[in-house]
Amino acid sequence: MVAAHGKNEISLKGIGVSPGIAVCNAQLLARKSETAIKRTISADEIPSEIARFEEALMTTHEQIRHIQKQVAEVLGDEHASIFDAHILVVDDRSFIEEVIRTIKRDLLNVEPVLLAVSNRYADMLAKVEDSYLSERAADIRDVTKRILGNLAGETVDQMKHIDEECIVVAHDLAPSDTASMNRERVKGFITDLGSSTSHTAIMAKALEVPSVVGLHNVTAVANKGDLILVDGTRGYVFINPTEERLEEYRKRAEEHEQIRLALDALRDKLPETKDGYLVPITANIELLQELDAVGARGAKGIGLFRTEFLFLGRENGLPDEDEQAASYIEAAESQYPSPVVIRTLDLGADKLPSGFEMPNELNPFLGDRAIRLCLSRPDLFKTQLRAILRASKYDNVRMMYPMVSCVQEVMQANTLLRECMMELAKEGVEFNKNIQVGTMIEVPSAALIADIIAPHVSFFSLGTNDLIQYTMAVDRGNENVAHLYKPTHMAIIRLIDYVVKVSHRFGLWTCVCGQMAADPVLVPLLIGMGVDELSVSPSQAPMIKDVIRKLYYSSSIELAQRALVSSSAEAVLELCHEMITDIAPEVIELSE
């Protein structure tokens, strides 16, 4: 098709990593050089060459810290912690000493030596079959480009200097590029490289900039000034779209806006089915700045309060009991009398506070993390437990343990909790002696022994993202196996069904706080299996409430019964899709 301005429309399909529609002219970012001119130096020049290197390292360190501070102010410490890995690279003495040794040995200028050493480190990590470690290879390359730019006296942050509204077109974007973008000017971005789990993708979604990555050759076919249409929801990019295409998307944007306005009108309505069954909707949050959004979008209370934000991206040590208690109290007060479920620390080798020492692990997702890490460091754990208990003077506070895999972990954690209660009682500190304590069900072993764990807790919270990945042995960020990540797989459906039945047999309640709860297509299935509560990000609450209010509870039970005797994930998904298409087609339009 030919666009109105005479150029042929080019259609590309990539990975949509940040939803939304954006239309603007293209701004191509120059691809940062990955070569370095080699120059022989004399022995007398070695000290000055090393001094150049160390000065560039210091400048790079300051730049990254500045970017990290800016991100923390805008998006919070959780997103700022992405740059901890960059700081580790620029401060890595073994890396630095190898560059210096090579300069001395080969009598070469620093640029080619730095590039060779960093490429060797990055290539080794990239070959490891672990998504976390392969992402570290990208961190090394990003920091190396920044050091090379500083050695050359170049402006490294190209995104910061964009002075007109545009769609950024780039071969790849580092997290530091995304963090430094002028959000008033950059309406979207598209790249050749990238994945849905990269730090750049996470930053784009947090910044709410429509983005598509993994387009392979967009920098080869797009030119400066071309009109670009970005569909970050579906992953489509149109270069020089036709008037028909633009009109189609104008209508879609208007329809989406009307749907959102109608959904926002549900804010104060009960999440109740048409036949009177109430399904509470709570919110998943990780930053105190999100507290106002909980009620504003129609959720009531917090079903998952991630506490890692207090620990990550800090320069002044770990938060003490008073600082933690103040944060938990702020959350409790803001939601009272609605519940606030505080999850204890879910830290591991993939996300650690600055200065927190622990051995490197080849597979941190199966390593010393979450409840395991807390139990191995009782002083750290008890500080948090005491802080949560102090906040529990507001009787809406509850707490839960992450990544439990056996009943012994729950019992050990409860023992430490009782010790904290005794200490606070002796100190005359007020707390709720009957605080509800639950556990996350994210590991298949925990799901299968739910009946053994149940006598020791008050509730279960199903973290379906990890439950699916651990059950299916699938990293959904790995494009080679991502197609195997299926929430409707019969193993997942049966595990959820079993956990819910056990919880009800023991008089407990069960919440789903993973992505399944936020998928409108799967909500009727979860409700039909007896899930008592759904916890989603605040922005997703209106859509989920809309589904609940258009659903008959009796129909959801029938759906679940049919799903549990189905033969495949595809059959279950088709049943769910048919129901949502029938009762709430508008949410299909928004989510697909």
Question: Would you please indicate which residues are annotated as catalytic (active-site) residues?
Answer: 199, 513
Nearest 10 degrees: CA dihedral of 303, 444, 310, 285?
Answer: -30
Residue listed under structure tokens 């329809």: 255
Of 291, 283, 327, 289, nearest in space to 307 by CA: 327
For residues 589 and 592, give the distance between their C-alpha atoms in angstroms, rounded to a whole number: 6
Q: How are the residues of the chain apportioned to helix, strand and coil, as percentages rounded to the nearest 5?
A: 55, 15, 35
Please give the DSSP secondary-structure letter assigned to residue 29.
P
DSSP element (H, E) containing 281: strand 281-285
Give the 3-state secondary structure of residue 339.
Answer: coil
For residues 424 and 447, give the distance between their C-alpha atoms in angstroms, rounded to a whole number: 33
For residues 411 and 163, give the distance between their C-alpha atoms in angstroms, rounded to a whole number: 58
For residues 384 and 378, give the distance between their C-alpha atoms in angstroms, rounded to a whole number: 10
Residue type for 30, please? A
Where in 225-280 does DSSP place strands (E)?
Answer: 227-231, 236-239
What are the backbone angles phi and psi of residue 505, rounded to the nearest 5°? -65, -30
For residues 159 and 203, give the distance between their C-alpha atoms in angstroms, rounded to a whole number: 14
CB 512 within 8 A of CB 526: yes
Which residues are within 8 A (CB) of 488 and not within 5 positions of it... i.e. 6 or more apart?
522, 525, 563, 569, 570, 572, 573, 576
Pull the structure tokens for residue 42. 């004399």
Which residues are within 8 A (CB) of 471 and not within 5 positions of it... i.e. 6 or more apart?
444, 489, 491, 492, 495
For residues 11 and 407, give the distance between their C-alpha atoms in angstroms, rounded to a whole number: 53
